[in-house]
Amino acid sequence: MIQILKLQGTDKRLYQLVGPLVMNPKVLQYNNGYPFKTGEQFVWYIAVEKRKVAGFIPLDLRKKGHIINNYYAGPEGHNETIGTLLDAIVADEGESTLPLLAVVQTPHQHLFAQKGFEVIKSWKLYIKMQKIQ
């Protein structure tokens, strides 16, 4: 069973949980070489299964919208992990009047579409999507 932890972007536990992953070359390769960022305006959703971090999605809380970008899910249960993380975010964002946007890796478009996101713009490796209210 996947448990979702929700941590502020500067919480010390965040670094303990995701630090080993965000500095792992294989995880960086999964993220097309882009580093993971955080700060006070971020909320991190972290999937934990069997006492191990299975994946995470940082949510950047900006004034004009909340943005999902630079996420990760391990190979075991990959789609389920992303789906469970998205369910938690969508549930939390349900009352928000700001748009929920996502910069999605091309192979994950269908996972976000299943959660009610629609394509706004496409690039070679990424797709910008927005959750439809």
Residue that is written with structure tokens 């960086």 in the block: 28
Digit-coded pLDDT (tens) for 3-39: 999 999 999 999 999 999 999 999 999 999 999 999 9
Decide: helix, strand or coil at residue 77.
coil
Average the pLDDT over 110-130 and give the result: 97
Strand extents, DSSP E, 13-116: 42-49, 52-62, 65-68, 72-73, 100-105
Domains and CATH numbers, the chain: 3-96 (3.40.630.30)
Contacts 24+ apart (CB under 8 A), 120-126: 125/32
Residue 35 near residue 23, CB atoms below 8 Å: no
Digit-coded pLDDT (tens) for 68-110: 999 999 999 999 999 999 999 999 998 889 999 999 999 999 9
